């Protein structure tokens, strides 16, 4: 298992948190997602054989948020 922290801009409410979590959990290989709304960070635990950070970034950006 690998871990990555994504810096996500534009999250401001519970709906944002749910949208980001749902998008990431929908990716095969993502095992755990922790959204830290006040910090603008998302911790993701994943199987590097099935998914990579670029795919995670794309999934979050598809929800309308910016990932650095």
Average pLDDT over residues 6-11: 97
- As for how many domains the chain has, the answer is 1
To the nearest whole number, what is the mean pLDDT of the chain?
A: 97
Confidence of residue 51 (pLDDT cuts 50, 70, 90): very high
Overall pTM > 0.85:
yes
Domain that holds residue 39: 2-67
- Quickly list DSSP for 13-65: SHHHHHHHHHHHHTSTTEEEEEEETTTTEEEEEE-TTT--HHHHHHHHHTTT-
Dihedral, CA of residue 9, residue 33, residue 62 and residue 16, to nearest 10? -60
**What CATH number is attached to the domain comprising 32?**
3.30.70.100
């Amino acid at each position: 298992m690998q871990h990555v922290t994504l810096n996500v801009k534009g999250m401001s409410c519970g709906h944002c948190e749910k949208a980001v979590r749902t998008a990431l959990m929908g990716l095969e290989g993502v095992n755990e997602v922790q959204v830290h709304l006040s910090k603008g960070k998302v911790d993701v635990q994943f199987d590097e054989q099935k998914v990579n950070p670029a795919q995670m970034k794309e999934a979050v950006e598809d929800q309308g948020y910016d990932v650095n």
